Chains A and B, each alone.
Chain A
């Protein structure tokens, strides 16, 4: 067996990726300079990409662990790709640490629950719902749940990879390292499975702190899992184009393609179910989430379905498309971008509402409404912009919507607003007329702008730089893996015309 097993991270590729990172930095700088007073776009863009790429590293580890636990044999030749991807969690810790620092230092207004005084009943901005959740939604839990959990996962990923690399150098064939890998992989499944839900509740779902969905953790984790699968396809095809991984055949691609197809359908199931459960229950605090997104962000909302369901479903439904490198590369690119788009959709509308309301309150636009909502007269108008974190804290729109008045039907905007006025006293004076301008189209929120794409390229370059570095540190194929022989002879048994099976007499 003569396998070309060493990947060399060439300086040409390095320069290209450093260029990509520089583009990312420039785009971030551009966003920062053209931002609102809270730098909402900058922080939310950073959060978006950090969670997305950390999540890809996590799901690569989770996917690999599941395969090892399930005695998968086909995957041996592509195992090192996932091992290298999972190591990126180490960088993810640093990326998320910036957001955590922002939470502690009140540098951003991403998380409304982090507003000082919001849990204090004596404070005019007191929010009963957030106070009720403050046992979980607080900076300590946020730190543990993002950076801390990533560190735990990274510990497992590092040990799994180490056991796999040690296996390459063992003198006599035995199952010692294989058993070690199984232990790390099997124990990671419950740890990763349970902790990832809390990770996503804290980092993404708490952007809309009044809103909750039991489907959310599933939904967002599957979304980023597809990011990892599609990136795997892209990277395998890229590595093959360089002459590596020549033993990865159409049959391996076919199996990854089935995952790409099947998990895309699973994502759609969650996408729809999250919506349908909330639509059916028609609970105002929950429906507002979709009401906002469907009415004010229709391109994001429906584009999500087009990119992540319609495209992979229709293209990958056939047997033969999953076996064509060109088609798979094309679909993987769309799905990768689609799930980045999905995270954009989860984050941007929520942070925009929060920041917009904070700005408005700071500008003192809310006098009459505040009195209506029994606010102390001393409260408004005296808040200068720089102290807005302590004073400018209206609840997110959610609480003031009454359940019966939140329409999923496309009723005219104005009539709906009248109906949804101040029906809940504890929402510290939320007002709809002023939110009107937030409904207009804004690049960077309503759809990703070119600068957002620049940031995506920057983070992707960072990810790939780290990935290729890790990939070059070990053999591209686990040489002593007990399943390697099976993987090299993997055959899905698919019968495709025109592939030349050799038996047409």
Chain B
């Protein structure tokens, strides 16, 4: 699907501090970074990139609340209406006995809900081919990538100049 294919110009840095100052420079020169890839989490990178706090945990709370109410209400219905069974002389609606399962359902719904949401947002499904720019970004290289699909030659030259200025070790173009 050609429409989904992107032409990406990326530079590789050998040090995380070089990467951070490069991202800062890009921000000052109003260059629109597509993404940054690092082999490990780089502290302090998110604010420089201007990333906002993830909203995934709000969904996590909602999924958890759904799981808690579902677990609790389902057990209440089963043990009082659908199939009442007396366990050890306890009342049918034995709330303390429901709490561990309610807790487990909360965790289950929150965990699965957030995982599925995260995978959906990232387009990660079984059988998806990973769009890796360069194998070394999972090893020892730090990468800044620009989407140059619709960029003019002048823009590309400008970006290449940026990579030279910020001491990128390598600059490549790749279609992903």
Contact = CB atoms under 8 A, between A and B. Distances in A.
A409 B50 CA distance: 56
A497 B30 CA distance: 21
Determine the main DSSP class of A at the interface with B: loop
A493 B43 contact: yes
A441 interface: no
B44 interface: yes
B99 interface: yes
Interface stretch (A25-33, A232-240, A273-281, A327-335): A273-281
Contact of B88 (A280, A319, A501, A504): A280
A406 B151 CA distance: 79
B47 A275 contact: no
A404 B51 CA distance: 61
B50 A505 contact: yes
B9 to A, nearest CB: 20
Contacts of B47: 495, 501-504
Contact of B99 (A272, A317, A504): A272
B46 A409 contact: no
Interface residues of B, number: 26
A493 to B, nearest CB: 5
A332 B90 CA distance: 38
B91 interface: yes
B52 A409 contact: no
Contact of A282 (B27, B43, B51, B89): B89
B54 to A, nearest CB: 8
Given A279-B96, A491-B44, A505 B28 contact: yes
A496 interface: yes
A280 B41 CA distance: 47
B159 to A, nearest CB: 17
B49 interface: yes
Contacts of B91: 409
A250 to B, nearest CB: 14
A107 B88 CA distance: 44
A155 B24 CA distance: 53
Given A282-B88, A491-B43, A491-B44, A497 B97 contact: no
Nearest to B27: A505
Given A276-B99, A280-B88, A501 B53 contact: no
A505 B30 CA distance: 8
B78 interface: no
Nearest to A494: B53
Contact of A503 (B48, B89, B96, B99): B48
Nearest to A281: B88
Contact of A495 (B27, B30, B51, B96): B51
A280 B97 contact: yes
Contacts of B54: 495
A440 B48 CA distance: 63
Contacts of A496: 53
A284 to B, nearest CB: 13
A504 B28 CA distance: 10
B41 A503 contact: no
B35 to A, nearest CB: 15
A276 B44 contact: no
Contacts of A404: 89
Nearest to B87: A280
Nearest to B91: A409
Contacts of A491: 43-44
Contacts of B24: 503
A505 B24 CA distance: 10
B52 A497 contact: yes
Contact of A501 (B41, B48, B99): B48
Contacts of B28: 505
A503 B54 CA distance: 16
Nearest to A320: B53
Nearest to A272: B99
A280 B89 CA distance: 10
A272 B97 CA distance: 11
A503 B57 CA distance: 23
Contacts of B51: 495
Contacts of A317: 61
Interface string A479-505: 000000000000101011100011111
A248 to B, nearest CB: 18
Nearest to B29: A505
Contacts of B89: 282, 404
A279 B28 CA distance: 64
B99 A497 contact: no
Contacts of B61: 317
Contacts of B50: 503-505
Contacts of B30: 505
B43 to A, nearest CB: 5
Interface string B11-46: 000000000000010011010000000000101101
Interface pairs A-B: 4 shortest CB-CB: A501-B47, A503-B48, A503-B47, A505-B27
15 contacts: A276-B97, A279-B96, A280-B88, A280-B90, A280-B97, A282-B89, A493-B41, A493-B46, A495-B46, A495-B53, A496-B53, A497-B52, A501-B48, A502-B47, A503-B49
Given A501-B47, A505-B28, 6 more contacts: A279-B96, A409-B91, A495-B51, A496-B53, A502-B48, A504-B47
